[in-house]
């Protein structure tokens, strides 16, 4: 009974946290649980799409039935998996349709902004670093921005978690990453942050669309996911 607004579409979704190794036993990561991305994968499937979920390997949620899950560690691995899957999809898509009408890329992953400049091949010993230890960090690639640049014909959907000046930051990311829509939540609100079962979002659309925004009041992540799919259906129909 779910409207099949994504029938015939292929969706790639990133979800969860990336893990950036420091040495063979330690890594840098963050608190993302992957709940929003996994809920969205299920909602896209329910709306008729073929769904690939590129997930941080530490996400402990069950993979939604019928969804293909690819586990990755680092941001570099996540990017490579997304590029490989996208190329594979585009090679098999109907040449009579534009990719915009067929492929959707959704970035919900909490990608680590930095990785260690060098991963130690052996465990770092505290006895060798009695005075303290400095790690040199370098920036990770922006997966969503790179996918959007490489595959301009895919429909691109981003997320933003902000604690202040939400609208300006969200619209800035929409433009900078060349997205079709961005879903933004206010993580300073304890009821809807990391690991929570609920969410509340404001969706901003690219200027070429008729609608500028949609406000999604607090609801379960499953309900929010269904509303986000409806938003995608609306702009695909334009």
What are the helix (H) ranges across 8-140?
A: 35-46, 75-91
* Residue selected from 173, 185, 196, 235 as contacting ligand C5P according to rule CB under 6 A: 173
**Annotated binding-site residue numbers for CTP:** 113, 123, 141-144, 159, 173, 177
The reply to whether 109 sits near ligand C5P by the rule CB under 6 A is yes
Q: Which residues contact 116 (CB under 8 A, 6 or more apart)?
A: 20, 21, 22, 28, 135, 136, 137, 138
Stretch that binds ligand C5P, among 51-59, 154-162, 202-210, 213-221 (CB under 6 A): 154-162
Tell me how crowded residue 194 is: count the other CB atoms within 10 A of its CB: 14
Helix (H, G, I), strand (E, B) or coil at 41: helix
30 is known as an active-site residue = yes
The reply to whether 140 sits near ligand C5P by the rule CB under 6 A is yes
List the end-to-end C-alpha distance of the chain, in Å, as a whole number.
23
| Least distance (Å) between residue 12 CB and ligand C5P | 11
Tell me how crowded residue 26 is: count the other CB atoms within 10 A of its CB: 15
Stretch that binds ligand C5P, among 28-36, 87-95, 104-112, 210-218 (CB under 6 A): 104-112
Q: CB nearer to ligand C5P: give 77 or 124.
A: 77
Binding-site ranges for ligand C5P (CB under 6 A): 14, 75, 107-109, 111, 140, 142-144, 158-160, 173
């Amino acid at each position: 009974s779910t409207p099949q607004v994504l029938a015939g579409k292929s969706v790639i979704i990133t979800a969860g946290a990336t893990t950036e190794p420091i040495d063979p036993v330690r890594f840098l990561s963050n608190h993302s649980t992957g709940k929003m991305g996994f809920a969205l994968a299920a909602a896209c499937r329910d709306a008729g799409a073929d769904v690939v979920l590129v997930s941080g390997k530490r996400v402990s949620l069950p993979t939604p039935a019928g969804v293909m899950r690819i586990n990755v560690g680092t941001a570099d691995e996540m990017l490579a998996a997304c590029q490989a899957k996208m190329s594979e999809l585009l090679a098999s898509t109907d040449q009579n349709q534009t990719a915009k009408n067929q492929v959707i890329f959704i970035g919900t992953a909490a990608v680590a902004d930095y990785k260690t400049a060098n991963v130690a091949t052996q465990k770092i010993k505290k006895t060798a670093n009695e005075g303290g230890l400095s790690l040199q960090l370098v920036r990770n690639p922006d997966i969503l921005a790179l996918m959007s640049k490489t595959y301009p014909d895919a429909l691109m959907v981003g997320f933003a978690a902000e604690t202040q000046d939400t609208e300006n930051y969200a619209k800035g990311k929409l433009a900078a990453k060349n997205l079709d829509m961005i879903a933004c939540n206010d993580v300073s609100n304890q009821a809807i942050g990391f690991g929570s079962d609920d969410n509340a979002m404001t969706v901003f659309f690219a200027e070429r669309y008729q609608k500028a925004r949609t406000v999604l009041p607090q609801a379960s992540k499953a309900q929010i996911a269904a509303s986000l799919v409806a938003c995608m259906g609306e702009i695909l129909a334009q």
